[in-house]
Structure 1
C-alpha cells in the first residue's frame, strides 16, 4: 500500500487546536475525500498512514496491561477514601513513552513461537511506534475508567450489611461494562466512519500524541518533559506523607471553626467539609483534585462557569432556602448527603425494610416518617432534574442547525459510500471488524445479565424484563446522545431518568432500582466510550481489529481488577464506610458510596412516588425539569442580540446547572481549592507564561496525581494495613474540626453533640 504524503498546509499550526464547541467549519462535500470537511480535524489530524507500522506488539501488551492493572487498582483503592482521587490515562501516556523506547533499544529482536500454533512474535519489532503508544493508552484508559456496578456491591456489603454471591457480583461488574459494546457496532458506521461525526475531545488526544512523539532536545538550563515529570512526581510522593499520614487535618483548614468553636452558624458558613467553606483552604493535592479531577486539565472558561454555578447554588440559593426554613430545612444540617426522619435524626432504614424480602414494609413506613433531605441534597436532585433538558435545549439552540447539517451530510455520505481521507485510508489499508463479533458480545452479555439477576436467589431483585427494558432505553438513547457527543462534546446522562422510570414501575426494591439504573445508564455510556475510542483509532490509523481486541480484553481485565480490589477492601477493612466506628485518622469513609446508598433509599426503597409527588415532601422540585429546559433560552437570545459581546457566548448554561453535580460527595473545599488552582494555571500562567504552560502544564498534573496515588497505596500496605496509624494528636483527624457545623438550627431538634437552640 502506498504511503500518503502529508499535505504541507495541513501540517501548519496543528498544535494550536482548541475545542470551542461552536463554529465548526464544514467544507465543500466534493473536496473532503482529500481531507476532512471539519476544519478543526484538518488542522489537527495528519492525513498520512503507514500500514506496515507495528501496532499490536509484545510491547503494547506488556506496557498496556501493566498500566491498566496499576490504574484500575489505584483508582478503585482511592474510591473508598475520604478524598476520592482518579488517576487519568495521561500519567500512563507520559510514563510509557520512555519505557517503550527503552524496550525498543534493549530487547532482543529474536522471534518467539507460540506453542501449539503457527503464530510467532518478536519482543522487539523495531522502533517504538505511535500506534503502539495509542493502543497502550487505550488499554490504560480501560483501567482508569471506574466500574459503576462496584457501588452496588459496596452498599450491599458496607451499608445494608447483607451478603451477595461473589459470582453474581462479578457478573454484574462485567456485564454492565461490556453490554454496550454489543450494540456499539450497530452505530459505528454513522458515528465513526462518517467524517461529520468528529468527536472534538479526541482532537486533544491527537494533539498530545503528536507533541509527545516530536523530537525533543534539552534546552540548556531546563529539564526535559520526562525529567520535569520525575522531579514533580518525587516531590508529590514525598509531600503526601504529611496530609496522608502525619497531619490529615491540613486537608481542610477552616479558620471560622477555630474562632467560633461552639457556634453553629459561623461553622456552617466556614466549614469546608460540612458547610459553605467560606474562608476554608487546603494544603493537600488530593483535596484539590479529588472528585473533580485535576484542575490543570480544564480550560479557564469551564472553570469560571463551574465556579459561577457553585457560587449561585451554594453561596446564594442554598443559604437563602436554609435560613428561610424552606422544606423544614432548619431541622437538618445545611449540607449533608444523609437521609433524615421528621425529628432530625438519621433515617432508620431498618425500620421500614422487610428483613425477609428486603422490600419496603408499607405499614411500618406509614407509621414512622416520610424521608427528609438536607436542603442542599434536595436541590442537588432538583439540579439533576434540570440538567438533561438543559443540555438538550442548549444543544438544540446552539448546535441544532449544525447537527442537522452534519446529519444530512452523514446520511448522504453513507448512502453514496463516500468518506473523507481518513475513512478512505482505513478502508483501504485494514480489514474491518465483522458485525458478528459485536453480536456475540451482545447475546453473551445479555444472557449473563439475566443470569446475574434471575439466578443466585434473585439477590439483585431485578427481573428479566427489567434488564430488557434497561437495554432498550440505553439502545434508544445511544444514537441521539452519540450524535450530540460526537459533534458538540456534550454528553447527557441517563442516571436520573432510569432511576425515575424503575422507581415508579417497581418501587420498594433498592437493589432493583440501582441495578436497573446501572444497566440503563452505564451500558449507553460504555457504548459511546467504545465509539469514541474507535474514532481516536480512526484518526490515528490503528487497525480496527486491533482496536476491538484491545478494548474488549482491556475492559474485561479492568472490570476484574476493579471488582477484586473492591471485594478485598470491603472484606478486609473493619468497619469500612462506617464513620461512627472507624478509628481516628482512618480515610475509609466511602463518601461516594454513601451518596449511592442514600439514592437507593430515595429512589428504590421509598420510591419517587412517595418523594417527588404530592405524597412526598419534594414534589415541587419537578419544576426543575421545566427550569432546565428554559434556562438556555435567555442566554441564546442575548448572544444573538449582542453578537459583539463575546463573553455572552462563553456562558454555558448546562455547565452552570451541573456545576455542583459532584456535591455530594464532594464538599465546598474541593470546589474552592479546585477553582483557585485551576485559574492560577489555566488563566494566569497560561496568559503570562504560555510557553511554560504548553510544555509543562499537563505533565505537572500527571506527576501530582501519580505521586499522591503511589504514596497513598504505599502508606496503606506498609503501615495502615498493619494497624500502624499516625501519631495520636489533634491533627490526625480527617476533619476540619468544625464539630457543630453538622447541627440543625431548629429549637425542637435535639441531636447528640449539638448545643441547644433557644
Structure 2
C-alpha cells in the first residue's frame, strides 16, 4: 500500500508512539483529570488489586509490603541507645562541615547498616531480663530487632543528624560581632524553629503523606535498601542475599574508585573533550566543566552525579537538564562572548559583588561601629554590580517562587481542595490500602501539634522582643506566616519529584524591602529571619518525607513523631556545642586574622552569609537595585504568575501532550541553583538518567525494581565512606596533598589551560 493512505497510517503510528512516550514520562506524576482516563488495568496489577488503590504508583506497589503486624515493638531502649548515638555522631560531623572547606558527609545508609547489625547483636546476645522498678522498668531484651524499630532509629537520625540553620545566626554573632548568644537562649532558638516546622508538617500530613499520588522518590530509595537488608537474613531468601552481595560490592567498588577523582587522579572528574582538540579560548571556555560552560563534558566522579539520576522521575530530570542547557550552554556563552552586562569586568560565573571598576565590593566596610550604614562610603562607591549569571539567577528565583504557588493551585488545586473538605468533615482523605492500615493506629492529637507550635512561638516572641534576634517583632510574624504558606506547594514538588526548592533569594529580597517599615537594620536580623522562615520550611519538608517512610512501614503516627522529636532533642545540643567549640577555637582563623595552614577552616559559608546580610539588610535592595539594569529582575514574579497559567490552558486543551510535566518551579529553581564554575555534572547525570528510565526501567522493570535503588544507595554510601577515609588520612590532622602529575595538573586538573576568566 502506498500513497496518501499509507502516509496517514504512518503519521498515526508516529503520533501513537509519541503519545505512549509522553504517557510513560508522566506515569509518576498525575493530576486529577488524568486519573479517570488512566490506562492501568486493575486485573494486570496483582491478585490483591481490589485492596490496593491503583492510584498508588507502580513502584510503590512493588516495593511496599501491605501486611502489618501491630504487635511489633517500635520504641525500645535499643531505639533510644542506637538512635541517640548515631544521631549525635551525625550532628557533630555535619555541623563541623558548615565551617570547613571540605567536610565529612554523613550517610543515612550508614545509620541503616549500623543500626541493623548492632540491633541484631543486642537481640541475640542480651538475656531476657527486666531492668528498673515498676513504671521505670524495661525489658533488657524486648525480642527480635523488628523492622519498625529499625525504621524508627533511622527516622530519628534523619531528623537530628544534620546541621541546624541556627548556625546562620550564632556563628556570625560570635565571629564578626563578638556578641555570642547565651547558650540556653541559643538552644531554645534552635529548637523552636525546628518544632514549628514539625507542627507545619503535621498539618500538611493529610495532603501529602496520606496522598497515594505523592511517592517521595528519595524515601522509596530507603525503602528498597530496608527491604533488601532485612530479607537477606532470612535463610531461604536467596534473592535478597544476592541483592545484598551486590550492594556490598557496589559500596566497595565506589569506595575504591572515588580515590581517583577525589585525590589521586582528579582528571577523570571532568573529561572536557573540547579542550583536548582546540586551544582556542572560546572552545576551551565552552568545553571546560570547571570554570566554563561544560559543553558535552563528562564526569566520572560520583560526587558530581549522585543517585538523583535514579530516583528523580524522568520528567523532573528533563526539566533540570533543559534548564541547565539554557543556563550553561546558551546564556553564559552568549553573555561571555558579547561582554553583556559588563562581563569583561566581572567574572561571569561569580556570586561576588563588585564595584563599577571590577574590584570586589567592600560590603564589610559599609558597616559602622554602631551597626548602621556608612552613608558617606555608599555615596562614594554606589550600588554593587553583579555578574551576568547572578542577575538572571535572581530573576529565575523569583519566577520559581511565585510559580510554585500558581502551579500548585492550578494543577493540584482541585485534589487539595477535596482533601481539605474531607479533612474538615472528619472523612477519610484517602482510601488506599496504606492509609487504611495506618488509620488503625491512634492519630497524633491536634493539641500535640498546637503545643509544638504555640510554645516555640512564645519563645521566639520573647527572644525577638528582648532584642536577641536583632529584628523587629513584626518580621517574626511575617516569617512564620510565609513559612507556613510555602510548605504545601513546595513540599508537594518535593513529594512527587524529590527536588528540593530553595527559598533564600526571596527571603533576602523580602526582608530587605519589609524592614523599611521600621526597626533595626542589623545584618544579623536578616539572618534570623532567614532561619525562621527557612528552617521551618526545610524541617517541615524533611519531617513529611520521614512521615512517608513511617507510612510505608506502617509505624504508628504518634511513634513517628516521638522518634523525630527525640532525634532533634539529641541533635540540637550537639549542634550548639559544635558551633561553640569551633567559634572559640577557630575564631581568628574564621575572621581571617590567622591563616589555617591546612586551608580547611575557612568559614567561607559564614563569610558569605554575613556579606549577604549586610547587602540586603543594611544596604537594602532599594539601594542595591538603584541601577536600572536591575529592574528586570523583579519582573520574575510576573513571569512566575503567567507562565503556569499558559501551561495549564495548554494542558486542558491538549491533555495527551502532557504540558503539566513542564514544571516552571523545578525549571527555574535549577536555573537559580546553577552557580557556574562547576558545570560538569548535568550532562552525565541526564545521560545516566535517560538510560535508567527509558531503557532499564521501561524494558527491564523487574531488574530495575530489584537493583536500581539499591545500587544507587550503595554508590552514595561508598562515596561517603571514601570521603571519610580521605578526610581522616589526608586532612584531619595535617593536609597531605597529592603529588602533581599529568592527571593532577596544578594549573588545570581537566587540562583546559586556556580558559579565559573574563569576557571575550
Instruction: Provide the TM-score with structure 1 as the length reference.
Output: 0.80
Please say if residues 296 and 678 of structure 1, whose CA atoms lie closer than 8 Å, have aligned partners that are also in contact. Answer: yes
**Who is 1:231 aligned against?**
249
Match of 1:700 among 688, 711, 723: 711
Question: Could you report, residue by residue, the CA deviation over 1:268-314 in whole angstroms, capped at 9, with x for unpaired residues?
Answer: 4333232212254434322333xxx6433323332222111100122
Q: Is residue 467 from structure 1 mapped to residue 476 from structure 2 by the alignment? A: yes
Structural mapping, 1:130-149, within 5 Å: 130-143=147-160, 145-149=162-166
How far apart are the structure 1 equivalents of 2:287 and 2:710?
34
Structural mapping, 1:491-510, within 5 Å: 494-506=503-515, 508-510=521-523
**Who is 1:366 aligned against?**
379
How far apart are the structure 2 equivalents of 1:129 and 1:317?
53
How far apart are the structure 2 equivalents of 1:732 and 1:452?
52
Please report how far the alpha carbon of residue 386 of structure 1 lies from its aligned counterpart in structure 2 after TM superposition: 0.2
Please say if residues 161 and 567 of structure 2, whose CA atoms lie closer than 8 Å, have aligned partners that are also in contact. Answer: no
**Who is 2:325 aligned against?**
311
Distance 1:25 1:461, change over 3 A: same
**Who is 1:517 aligned against?**
530
1:339 counterpart SS class: coil
**Who is 2:47 aligned against?**
none
**Who is 1:72 aligned against?**
91
**Who is 2:55 aligned against?**
39
How far apart are the structure 2 equivalents of 1:417 and 1:663?
38
Please report how far the alpha carbon of residue 380 of structure 1 lies from its aligned counterpart in structure 2 after TM superposition: 0.8
**Who is 1:449 aligned against?**
460
Please report how far the alpha carbon of residue 249 of structure 1 lies from its aligned counterpart in structure 2 after TM superposition: 5.7
How far apart are the structure 1 equivalents of 2:694 and 2:594?
44
**Who is 2:180 aligned against?**
164
Match of 1:201 among 212, 216, 222: 216
Distance 1:532 1:594, change over 3 A: same
**Who is 2:131 aligned against?**
113
2:138 counterpart SS class: strand
Please say if residues 66 and 434 of structure 2, whose CA atoms lie closer than 8 Å, have aligned partners that are also in contact. Answer: yes
Please say if residues 591 and 665 of structure 1, whose CA atoms lie closer than 8 Å, have aligned partners that are also in contact. Answer: no
How far apart are the structure 2 equivalents of 1:223 and 1:420?
31
Distance 1:581 1:377, change over 3 A: farther
**Who is 1:743 aligned against?**
757
Please say if residues 168 and 531 of structure 2, whose CA atoms lie closer than 8 Å, have aligned partners that are also in contact. Answer: no
**Who is 1:176 aligned against?**
193
Please report how far the alpha carbon of residue 515 of structure 1 lies from its aligned counterpart in structure 2 after TM superposition: 1.3
Please say if residues 250 and 283 of structure 1, whose CA atoms lie closer than 8 Å, have aligned partners that are also in contact. Answer: yes
**Who is 2:388 aligned against?**
375
How far apart are the structure 2 equivalents of 1:689 and 1:734?
45
**Who is 1:607 aligned against?**
620
How far apart are the structure 2 equivalents of 1:252 and 1:582?
30
How far apart are the structure 2 equivalents of 1:161 and 1:734?
38
Structural mapping, 1:128-527, within 5 Å: 128-143=145-160, 145-153=162-170, 160=176, 164-165=180-181, 167=183, 169-182=186-199, 184=201, 187=203, 190-191=206-207, 199-201=214-216, 204=220, 208=224, 213-214=230-231, 224-248=242-266, 250-252=268-270, 254=272, 265-289=282-306, 294-354=308-368, 356-414=369-427, 429-430=441-442, 432-450=443-461, 453=464, 458=467, 460-478=469-487, 494-506=503-515, 508-527=521-540
Distance 1:677 1:593, change over 3 A: farther
Match of 1:669 among 677, 680, 684: 680
Distance 1:275 1:484, change over 3 A: closer
**Who is 2:550 aligned against?**
537
How far apart are the structure 1 equivalents of 2:708 and 2:65?
24
Structural mapping, 1:88-103, within 5 Å: 89-93=108-112, 96-103=115-122
2:370 counterpart SS class: coil
**Who is 2:31 aligned against?**
22
How far apart are the structure 2 equivalents of 1:552 and 1:509?
32
Please say if residues 287 and 669 of structure 1, whose CA atoms lie closer than 8 Å, have aligned partners that are also in contact. Answer: yes
Question: Could you report, residue by residue, the CA deviation over 1:640-672 in whole angstroms, capped at 9, with x for unpaired residues?
Answer: 4444445x5543332222223333378212333
How far apart are the structure 2 equivalents of 1:279 and 1:157?
45
Distance 1:740 1:589, change over 3 A: farther
**Who is 1:716 aligned against?**
727
Structural mapping, 1:539-618, within 5 Å: 540-566=553-579, 568=581, 586=599, 596-612=609-625, 614=626, 617-618=629-630
Distance 1:255 1:426, change over 3 A: closer
Please say if residues 92 and 578 of structure 2, whose CA atoms lie closer than 8 Å, have aligned partners that are also in contact. Answer: yes
**Who is 1:630 aligned against?**
642
Q: Is residue 127 from structure 1 mapped to residue 144 from structure 2 by the alignment? A: yes
Please say if residues 54 and 131 of structure 1, whose CA atoms lie closer than 8 Å, have aligned partners that are also in contact. Answer: yes
Distance 1:694 1:427, change over 3 A: closer
Please say if residues 156 and 164 of structure 1, whose CA atoms lie closer than 8 Å, have aligned partners that are also in contact. Answer: yes
Please report how far the alpha carbon of residue 138 of structure 1 lies from its aligned counterpart in structure 2 after TM superposition: 0.8
Question: Could you report, residue by residue, the CA deviation over 1:42-65 in whole angstroms, capped at 9, with x for unpaired residues?
Answer: 974666543322111233233333
Please report how far the alpha carbon of residue 521 of structure 1 lies from its aligned counterpart in structure 2 after TM superposition: 2.5
In structure 1, the gaps of 5 or more residues are 1-16, 28-33, 747-758
Distance 1:424 1:574, change over 3 A: closer
Distance 1:699 1:284, change over 3 A: same
Distance 1:534 1:338, change over 3 A: same
Question: Could you report, residue by residue, the CA deviation over 1:54-112 in whole angstroms, capped at 9, with x for unpaired residues?
Answer: 111233233333443344344445555667885553453455445544443x2324234
Please say if residues 253 and 281 of structure 1, whose CA atoms lie closer than 8 Å, have aligned partners that are also in contact. Answer: yes
RMSD (Å), alpha carbons? 4.3
**Who is 2:12 aligned against?**
none
Please say if residues 72 and 144 of structure 1, whose CA atoms lie closer than 8 Å, have aligned partners that are also in contact. Answer: yes
**Who is 2:78 aligned against?**
59
Instruction: Provide the TM-score with structure 2 as the length reference.
Output: 0.80
